Amino acid sequence: MGTASSSSSSQAPCARPATLSFPVLYLLTALVQWGTIPPTAVSPSLYGALAREPVRAAVAVLLDDEHPQRQGGPEEHTERQGAEEEAEEESGQSESSVWPWPLPENYVLVFRVLISPLATHCYLPSAELANRVISHYRPLAHRFLRVTFTDEAARQLSSFALLREKSAWFIAEEPSIGFTVASVQAWMGTFSAIRNVAKCAARMGQCFSSRFTSLPLPRALVCSLPDVTRHSYCFTDGVGAVSPEAGRALADAIAPYLDRPCAGAWCEQAGRGAARGDGGVVGQGVAHMWVRPSMDKFESQHADVEVINWTRPQPCFLNRQIVTLLSTLGVPDQVFLDMQDTMVQRLDAAVSSRASALRLLEESGADHLYGAAMAMLRAGIHPAHEPHLKRMIRAVRLRGATWMATCTSLHGTSGCCRLEGGAVSPWTTSRQRRTAVLPSP
């Protein structure tokens, strides 16, 4: 048994990490893990200096640690930063505004943690599209944490027993202001009627779907339509409609992202589904949106329409299963080898040719991801003259090569497919329609 002993020291006592606010402690951990701050710099004086300063000042110090112009250690810079922002703190600056830079309206800074069987990696906050919950609790967005589970090589886990997105949300509670997990869940909606655990988790995850924009829609403008069922099959599961006026308003809201779409995936209150502009239901009332019973997932008081996604061209790829099927049906193997060689040449040419790079990005079907790169290429900027653009093109090339090597993903540049669709009328009848998608020139 050891005996307790104490010794006097002129050094200030070390502040426990628990006394630091969550954003400060998280940033300090992430910077130490990624080598920005050496472990030897994490001293008792640093803990004490960060604990004494306002949250915004401490965050500014940690995020400014990479600047070579800063003079002195973290402790001295903390003192100076705190003195400069003391006036802001006294004038009403609270913990809600802890970030030193502004963000667009539909974006928030998200904490991300990657957990593998061998390690835990904390990433610096990244700007991502907001969702319903974080948008409502935007002043407390720094108290949300998204955790992703991977294997030892940071690859996503694949199993039917795991979460669909391989990630989960965690909340740092603050009972003094009424911010708890129970209060957040109560605001999201009522899930007590859902007895299946997996289904309940999926419905709660619906509230965390990233959205591009949202528009208020009074309940008086939402009407109900019956589902089309036959022989116990529902043919209108998740299929709704919007009026031309509401469709134009939603299209104008997402205009900064893409051209005007013809249909989109959306969330309304506790409903979720796809909706397209339909003039056939106009005149049945003053409603701007029509939903069906199959679209109601849970009870909620949320009254905004959220745009989750919309229709966009999709490229044609041959995966391993399609290649095996076509080969069994008599297609020569040399055809697939020629497609592979052509794809490799196109990927290599994209690094050195502006036209090839632009064509590769246009055929990827991901304009919302490569919009900035495509705008730079259309403006005449060559990848060899712009380092950032060159890195983006190389990343696209690496992704295409990886998919081709691991998933046998071959791009069909002259593919042709026939889509079978239908248009559901407001009188619960179905009109069959065939749409041919011709090869692109």
Residue-wise pLDDT for 327-349, tens only, equals: 898 889 888 888 888 888 888 88
Other CB atoms within 10 A of residue 178 CB: 9
User: Which single residue is written with the structure tokens 């339909």?
Assistant: 278
Q: pLDDT tens digits, residue range 384-401?
A: 888 888 888 888 888 888
List residues bridging with 318 in a β-sheet. Answer: 410
Q: Concatenated DSSP letters for 22-58?
A: HHHHHHHHHHHHTTSS-GGG--HHHHHHHHHS-HHHH
52-66, 164-178, 187-201, 349-363: least confidently modelled range:
52-66
**Model confidence at 267: pLDDT above 70:** no
* Range from 74-78, 79-83, 178-182, 250-254 that averages highest in pLDDT: 178-182
Average pLDDT, the chain: 72
Task: Give dist(CA 308, CA 210) in Å, integer.
Answer: 7
**Model confidence at 273: pLDDT above 70:** no
Instruction: Tell me what pLDDT residue 373 has.
Output: 82
Mean pLDDT of 223-236: 81
| Residue 92 pLDDT class (50, 70, 90 cuts) | very low
- Higher confidence at residue 99 or residue 193? 193
Using alpha carbons only, give the angle 423, 427, 430 rounded to the nearest 5 degrees: 30
List residues bridging with 430 in a β-sheet. Answer: 424
Name the percent of the chain lying above pLDDT 70.
69
Instruction: Tell me what pLDDT residue 419 has.
Output: 46
Q: Which helix (H) or strand (E) holds 124?
A: strand 120-129
Using alpha carbons only, give the angle 28, 34, 39 rounded to the nearest 5 degrees: 60
Q: Where are the domains of the chain?
A: 17-90, 107-206, 213-310, 317-411
Instruction: Tell me what pLDDT residue 96 has.
Output: 44
DSSP state of 117: S
User: Which single residue is written with the structure tokens 């003079």?
Assistant: 71
Counting runs of H as helices and runs of E as strands, what totals does the chain give?
A: 14, 17
- Higher confidence at residue 377 or residue 73? 377
Instruction: Tell me what pLDDT residue 320 has.
Output: 82
Given CA atoms 270, 271, 277, 283 in this order, what sign does their dihedral have?
A: negative
**Model confidence at 117: pLDDT above 70:** yes
Q: pLDDT tens digits, residue range 301-337?
A: 777 777 777 766 677 778 888 888 888 988 898 888 8
Task: Give dist(CA 156, CA 41) in Å, integer.
Answer: 34
Using alpha carbons only, give the angle 208, 213, 214 rounded to the nearest 5 degrees: 85
Q: Are 361 and 347 in contact (CB under 8 A)?
A: no
**Model confidence at 97: pLDDT above 60:** no
